[in-house]
A and B are shown apart, each in its own frame.
Chain A
Amino acid sequence: MRRHGFRRWLPRRYHNEIRDPARELFLFRKRLWLAGWLMLLMFGALLCRFFYLQVIAHQQYQTQAENNRIAVVPVGPSRGMISDRHGAVLAQSFSAYTLELTPSRIGNLDATLTRLGELVEITPRDLRRFRRAMEESRNFDSLPLRTKLSDEEVARFAVHKYRFPGVDIRARLYRQYPFGETASHVLGYIGRLNDRDIERLTGSGNLLNYKGTDHIGKIGIELSYESALHGIVGFDEVEVDALGRAVRSLTRVPPIPGDHLQLTIDMGLQRLAEQALGTANGAVVAIDPNNGEILAMASMPGFDPNLFVEGIDVASWDRLNTSPDKPLLNRSLRGAYPPGSTVKPFLALAALTSGRRTAENAINDAGYFDLSIGAGKVHRFRDQKNSGHGRVDMHKSIVESCDTYYYILASEIDIDDTARFLSQFDFGQKTGIDLEGEAVGVLASRAWKRERFSGPRYREEHRRWYLGDSVSAGIGQGYNSFTPLQLAHATATLANDGVSFRPHLVKRIIDGTTGQAKELPPEEVRRLELKPAHLTTIKKAMIDVNREGTAARIFKGAPYTSAGKTGTAQVFSLRGEKYIESQIKSHLRDHAWFIVYAPAEKPTIAIAVLVENGGFGARAAAPVARALLDYYLTGKRVAPVPPVGADDSGDWEE
């Protein structure tokens, strides 16, 4: 039979009209049992799979299940305390309740915030801070909304907690600076870890130690002693569910708290220094000459470090950052100013040491010094006192602060020799203080000038050192600029007969766990080769500055002997015109300097005071030093000497 179309494609039996039930049953059973075998095969395959998963790869999956189940939660250590030399607490950590939100677990965030506001006070500032944190974080993080909840607020929220999934109360560590603005530049502050911090920690391999920490020292002691203050992270092993919520705690490695720091700062002196500076912009550094301990380090104006801990708000930041008074600048550490006449005792000492002068060598001061600048021309350098000081020896040059004496001296001494000598006092270089960000200042020399004016904008005539440069440097003008810390350090070195100690702010480090104190011994930097006779000459002159010289009025009646030197640093070049304070805008007025140490016989404190735009050093800066000395040496708190009117400025000429 011919088959057509698709019929040809089918087996013959489908066209058979005659059927065989027995054969059909047989064929059905064949298919059924074929299916049966296939099913058995599949079950066998499943069995093999189970055997593989549960026997062969069991260990691996066991580990994975444990990794799923067990989470290691870092526990941040509590940050060490900072206190002053007498134990007054300057920075402390405390635990407080925070209201935290996990945005990923909250459906309607705005509604939740509104309802929360009915239970707990939430200020617009809290909200702003929260929104900013949200932008910066991944949304499964838990973010603080309100910090430092009161016990009552905690209780109120606890009752309603069930209404707020994704909102939790957590105990977090806070940093507090009880003295607020006082010593703010020394202490610095901590702030939230940012990307830069994390990058830096990654680089130094310390990131792991910050797993449980939100904050890090940003500036000041908080930054410089970060590693001691921070402590070592601990770990909690907890069983977690798939959403990462802790179900129960398994084991715990407790964190090791950070060490406490006891500073060399005397908070009474520090506070007095800041009060004495008052509204002026300025700096005070007080050092114990016998060991380099910094007793006070003030820079005004200051700031409240508490503002920075949880992230400063925009308005406060703008105020601090854009203020022309630069409250964020630590002037004692980072401000470099021309030293003015305060450099004279050091130059005199240099002259004695080099043998260029004896104490008795005298000049006749007519009120000016003419420097020949070639081709018959002269440049006239004027003394502050028009009529001149008459016969001036070294003692008188310091006591009366005679400029002409130093014009002549400077014109005779090579600037590189001067720089070499002054560098022994750490002028123009880092003192090595244990505080980050120390400025170097400028100690001018030929090499320095060449380097400074090496740019393509300058020509050889700019780079050359002129004798006139030396003459200016002779009265602390010109290129030289030193920080208040450098001047205090140098004064301390002078007071200590040339034995200098590294200035430092931390007296002892106290172990956060055992309470064991580790003293930081004074670190001698160097012993200057100075003849006792030379030192006596200089010191005598400085004692007479306060007794009968430029600062005599301020130190009248002091129950101790002190040795000082006033200084006035020009901000503004008058180009030969007479300086009349009342006619100069306040920000262009001269900076007032005063350096002092006391008691003169056996110094225990050396101070440098700088008052920006304060005018004459004796009037603006010396009273601050007097107040500090009275407090420190007699325990008396003396009201700062009131400023004197501009009319009698003649008395204050240097």
Chain B
Amino acid sequence: MSVRDKFFSFWASFTRHIDGPLMAIVLLLSAVGAVVLFSAVAPDTERFIQQMKSIGIAFVVMWIVANIPPHRLSQIALPLYVVGVLALVAVALFGITVNGSQRWLAIGGFRFQPSELLKLAVPLLLAWYFQKFEARLNFGNFLMALLLIALPAWLIRRQPDLGTALLVAVSGFYVLYLARLPWKAMLLMAATAVPLIWLFAHDYQKQRVLAFLDPGADPLRSGYHTLQASIAIGSGGVTGKGWLHGTQAHLDFLPERHTDFIFAVYSEEFGLVGNLVLLALYAALILRALMIANQASSLFGRLLAGTITLMLFTYTAVNMGMVSGILPVVGVPLPFVSYGGTAMLSLFICIGILMSVQTHRKLVET
């Protein structure tokens, strides 16, 4: 075997569990993200470098996850969920309070936010649960599933962190949907959820929703973010103002411009053309993920891949929707673009899971 052959065989085994199209899309998205982030944090480069490091680490983690076969992943679902819920209980008992919310656990010198873990642990657990009872899935299983969603969601809400609680609940709900919860039950759930959310919402959250309904009414307060973001996007026009030339971004008019509102920076500098490109990339990502879910060989793989797809979509659409002013402002980052190491890591774990589901398919089938 020549060196060349050796290299190819090594490369083949190294990339065996990497899904090519998914990898390409994610790389492109990350590249776009890096370009925008550079502009959003300019002239500071520290956070840009930090983000590049996070992406590097996230790639490694993705590779590792992709190499874990789905059935092994399903084995850690229950422990992960139990640890997560216990951690939430620990937060409630002796968590650190910052800005009036008790969300963090201090372990060693690190601060850790268990609620982030649950975003992944809940779909994982539900997929495992439905897989386990696949043969005799009945109404009781759905009730149980609801309980498994409600427990961490309730714990997170009382921190209070309604946004994350909702995302956790929604991810669970996606599993239920894909596991074919009857339409009537889903309608009933939706009908109870809406007033419940409004009841639990803080005044500032309600304010945001109201501001969303009429952003011009109070331009310097609740509606400020939305208004400035709309101005940024709208003034970008068809071709944009050019990289690093967004006035809304660089003169500080855009709030949260390297995190939740980074899409406005992109949109201002690259215009409608840029938006089309970005939207196409996300559409490709979702399409590929849908295909993976469609082809998955086990119920666990199907449910997990499908849920991840829907969550990726949810993050993307909710973020873009809120930045462009067709949805109320909720703290959801734009996948692969917004600054933040934890979010980046969770995203790449999701991509790793998708790759694992896709590439371990044949092994299971045969």
The reply to whether the CB of B72 lies closer than 8 angstroms to some CB of chain A is: no
- List residues of chain B with CB under 8 Å of any chain A CB: 135-139, 177-178, 180, 182, 184, 228, 230-238, 247-248, 251-253, 267, 271-272, 275-276, 279, 282-283, 286-287, 290, 293-294, 302, 306, 309-310, 313, 317, 320-321, 324-326
Which residues of chain A are near B325, meaning CB under 8 Å? 49, 53
In the complex the two chains form, is A242's CB within 8 Å of B251's CB? yes
Expressed in whole angstroms, the minimum distance between the Cβ of B307 and any Cβ of chain A is 10
Which residues of chain B are near A372, meaning CB under 8 Å? none
Expressed in whole angstroms, the minimum distance between the Cβ of B134 and any Cβ of chain A is 8
Prevailing SS type, chain A contact patch: helix
In the complex the two chains form, is B235's CB within 8 Å of A31's CB? no
In the complex the two chains form, is A28's CB within 8 Å of B302's CB? yes
Mark contacts of A278-318 with chain B using CB atoms, 8 A cut-off: 1 yes-contact digit, 0 otherwise: 00000000000000000000000000000000000000000
Q: Which A-B residue pairs are the 4 nearest by beta carbons?
A: A61-B234, A65-B235, A242-B252, A53-B234
The reply to whether the CB of A68 lies closer than 8 angstroms to some CB of chain B is: yes
Contacts A45-B326, A60-B234, A242-B251 given; does A54 touch B275 at CB 8 Å:
yes
In the complex the two chains form, is A50's CB within 8 Å of B267's CB? yes
In the complex the two chains form, is A32's CB within 8 Å of B294's CB? yes
The contact of A54 among B247, B271, B294, B321, by CB within 8 Å, is B271
The contact of A17 among B136, B272, B290, by CB within 8 Å, is B136
- Enumerate 28 A-B pairs (CB-CB under 8 Å) in ascending A order: A6-B139, A11-B182, A17-B136, A19-B135, A24-B180, A31-B177, A32-B294, A32-B302, A35-B178, A35-B310, A40-B283, A45-B321, A47-B279, A53-B233, A53-B325, A54-B233, A54-B237, A54-B271, A54-B272, A54-B275, A55-B272, A61-B230, A61-B234, A61-B235, A65-B253, A68-B247, A242-B252, A242-B253
Give the complex CA separation of A50 and B236 in angstroms. Answer: 10
The contact of B248 among A57, A58, A65, A247, by CB within 8 Å, is A65
In the complex the two chains form, is B178's CB within 8 Å of A32's CB? yes
In the complex the two chains form, is A69's CB within 8 Å of B279's CB? no
The contact of A43 among B178, B232, B251, B279, by CB within 8 Å, is B279
Give the complex CA separation of A54 and B271 in angstroms. Answer: 7
Give the complex CA separation of A16 and B275 in angstroms. Answer: 49
Expressed in whole angstroms, the minimum distance between the Cβ of B235 and any Cβ of chain A is 4
The contact of A239 among B251, B290, B321, B324, by CB within 8 Å, is B251
Q: Which of A44-96 contact B (CB under 8 A)?
A: 45-47, 49-51, 53-55, 57-58, 60-62, 64-66, 68-69
The reply to whether the CB of A29 lies closer than 8 angstroms to some CB of chain B is: yes
In the complex the two chains form, is B247's CB within 8 Å of A69's CB? yes
Give the complex CA separation of A45 and B138 in angstroms. Answer: 37
Most buried by B among A10, A54, A65: A54
Most buried by B among A11, A27, A28, A57: A28
The reply to whether the CB of A39 lies closer than 8 angstroms to some CB of chain B is: yes
Contacts A14-B137, A14-B138, A61-B231 given; does A29 touch B294 at CB 8 Å:
yes
Which residues of chain B are near A116, meaning CB under 8 Å? none
Closest chain A residue to B224, Cβ basis: A242
Which residues of chain A are near B247, meaning CB under 8 Å? 65, 68-69, 239
Which residues of chain A are near B279, meaning CB under 8 Å? 43, 46-47, 50
In the complex the two chains form, is B251's CB within 8 Å of A55's CB? no
Give the complex CA separation of A69 and B268 in angstroms. Answer: 14
Q: Which of A1-36 contact B (CB under 8 A)?
A: 6-7, 9-11, 14-15, 17, 19, 24, 27-29, 31-33, 35-36
Contacts A32-B293, A42-B317, A241-B251 given; does A62 touch B139 at CB 8 Å:
no
The reply to whether the CB of A574 lies closer than 8 angstroms to some CB of chain B is: no
The reply to whether the CB of A111 lies closer than 8 angstroms to some CB of chain B is: no
In the complex the two chains form, is B138's CB within 8 Å of A15's CB? yes
Which residues of chain B are near A247, meaning CB under 8 Å? 251
Give the complex CA separation of A10 and B180 in angstroms. Answer: 12
Expressed in whole angstroms, the minimum distance between the Cβ of B233 and any Cβ of chain A is 5
Expressed in whole angstroms, the minimum distance between the Cβ of B231 and any Cβ of chain A is 5
Which residues of chain B are near A66, meaning CB under 8 Å? 235
Closest chain A residue to B318, Cβ basis: A42
Q: Which of A312-364 contact B (CB under 8 A)?
A: none
Which residues of chain B are near A61, meaning CB under 8 Å? 230-231, 233-235
Other than the given A15-B138, A43-B282, 7 more pairs (CB < 8 A) read A10-B182, A19-B135, A27-B180, A47-B279, A54-B237, A55-B238, A69-B248
The reply to whether the CB of A371 lies closer than 8 angstroms to some CB of chain B is: no
The reply to whether the CB of A159 lies closer than 8 angstroms to some CB of chain B is: no
Prevailing SS type, chain B contact patch: helix
Total interface residues on A, using CB and 8 Å? 47
Contacts A39-B286, A57-B234 given; does A68 touch B248 at CB 8 Å:
yes
Expressed in whole angstroms, the minimum distance between the Cβ of A621 and any Cβ of chain B is 66
In the complex the two chains form, is A7's CB within 8 Å of B251's CB? no
Give the complex CA separation of A55 and B272 in angstroms. Answer: 8
In the complex the two chains form, is A53's CB within 8 Å of B324's CB? yes
Give the complex CA separation of A68 and B250 in angstroms. Answer: 12
The contact of A50 among B182, B233, B248, by CB within 8 Å, is B233
Contacts A11-B182, A14-B139, A61-B231 given; does A43 touch B252 at CB 8 Å:
no
Contacts A62-B237, A242-B253 given; does A31 touch B135 at CB 8 Å:
no
The contact of A49 among B178, B276, B324, by CB within 8 Å, is B324
Which residues of chain A are near B271, meaning CB under 8 Å? 54
Expressed in whole angstroms, the minimum distance between the Cβ of A608 and any Cβ of chain B is 62
Give the complex CA separation of A415 and B306 in angstroms. Answer: 112
Which residues of chain B are near A24, meaning CB under 8 Å? 180
Which residues of chain A are near B238, meaning CB under 8 Å? 54-55, 58
In the complex the two chains form, is A36's CB within 8 Å of B290's CB? yes
Expressed in whole angstroms, the minimum distance between the Cβ of B91 and any Cβ of chain A is 32
Give the complex CA separation of A61 and B271 in angstroms. Answer: 13
Give the complex CA separation of A53 and B223 in angstroms. Answer: 17
The reply to whether the CB of A533 lies closer than 8 angstroms to some CB of chain B is: no
In the complex the two chains form, is A62's CB within 8 Å of B177's CB? no
Which residues of chain A are near B313, meaning CB under 8 Å? 39, 42
Expressed in whole angstroms, the minimum distance between the Cβ of A140 and any Cβ of chain B is 12
Closest chain B residue to A15, Cβ basis: B138
Contacts A36-B290, A46-B321 given; does A31 touch B234 at CB 8 Å:
no
The reply to whether the CB of A240 lies closer than 8 angstroms to some CB of chain B is: yes
Which residues of chain A are near B228, meaning CB under 8 Å? 68
Give the complex CA separation of A39 and B272 in angstroms. Answer: 20
Expressed in whole angstroms, the minimum distance between the Cβ of A31 and any Cβ of chain B is 6
Expressed in whole angstroms, the minimum distance between the Cβ of A559 and any Cβ of chain B is 76
Give the complex CA separation of A243 and B255 in angstroms. Answer: 12
Expressed in whole angstroms, the minimum distance between the Cβ of A66 and any Cβ of chain B is 8
Contacts A15-B138, A50-B275, A57-B234 given; does A35 touch B177 at CB 8 Å:
yes
Q: Which of A140-164 contact B (CB under 8 A)?
A: none
Which residues of chain B are near A15, meaning CB under 8 Å? 138
